[in-house]
Amino acid sequence: MDGGGWRSVVFGAARLCHLSDANIKSGNRSGARALGDVEMITTHILDLESGAPAAGVAVVLTGPEALQMKAVTDEDGRVTAWDAPFDLYPGSYQMEFLVGAYFARRGAPTFFESIPVRFVVEDIHRAFHVPLLLSPFGYSTYRGS
């Protein structure tokens, strides 16, 4: 294949991974998707009480291979880049939104110190957007696009 195609490769007894041609050429045969392929995991927080994006919220992303990334939402309430590049592996991930400090800065009482959202990545070729709709006493999240 050429021009950004994908190949299936078997590792060990039964580990099937899909690798991009770019990863094959660079020697990345780990089954991970490299950060340069696309921005892989993003989020957006909307404060339903104020009707505005929730800027300045610390977010911690954990996952396979001892992954632990950190970011802070921008003025639009988005995390589009993490503190370091990482590879995306199939497996369980958690995005923890540290909302207690956000509400404290606003002088608003809240029921939540942090909000953990656990999700599974099976198809490493897709982008994952995990929005959070937030209020001091409730929240909702979903698989975004």
CATH number of the domain residue 116 falls in: 2.60.40.180
pTM for the full predicted model: 0.74
pLDDT digits (tens, 9 = 90+) for 94-121: 999 999 999 999 999 999 999 999 999 9
pLDDT at 33 over 60: no
Question: Does 59 lie in the same domain as 6?
Answer: no
15/54 same-domain check:
no
- Burial label for 4, CB within 10 Å (0-12, 13-18, 19+), is exposed
Segment 118-130 mean pLDDT: 92
Query: What average pLDDT does the segment 132-144 reach?
Result: 96
Same domain? 68 vs 137: yes
Domain coverage including residue 108: 38-141
End-to-end CA distance of the chain: 28
How many domains does the chain divide into?
A: 2
64/21 same-domain check: no
Does residue 108 sit in the same domain as residue 47? yes
Q: What is the pLDDT of residues 45-96, one digit of tens each?
A: 999 999 999 999 999 999 999 999 999 999 999 998 899 988 899 999 999 9
Higher pLDDT, 19 or 143: 143
Judgement on whether residues 26 and 74 belong to the same structural domain of the protein? no
Residues 10 and 66 in one domain: no
- Residues 27, 42, single domain; the answer is no
Per-residue model confidence (pLDDT) at position 140: 97
Using only C-alpha atoms, what is the Rg of the chain? 17
- Identify whether residues 96 and 25 lie together within a single domain: no
Which pLDDT score is estimated for 39?
A: 54
10 and 58 belong to one structural domain: no
Based on the fold, state whether residues 17 and 58 are members of the same structural domain.
no
Q: Please indicate, yes or no, whether residues 20 and 73 belong to a single structural domain of this protein.
A: no
pLDDT band for position 11 (50/70/90)?
very low
pLDDT at 136: 96
Q: How deeply is 33 buried, as exposed, middle or buried, from its count of CB atoms within 10 A (0-12, 13-18, 19+)? A: buried
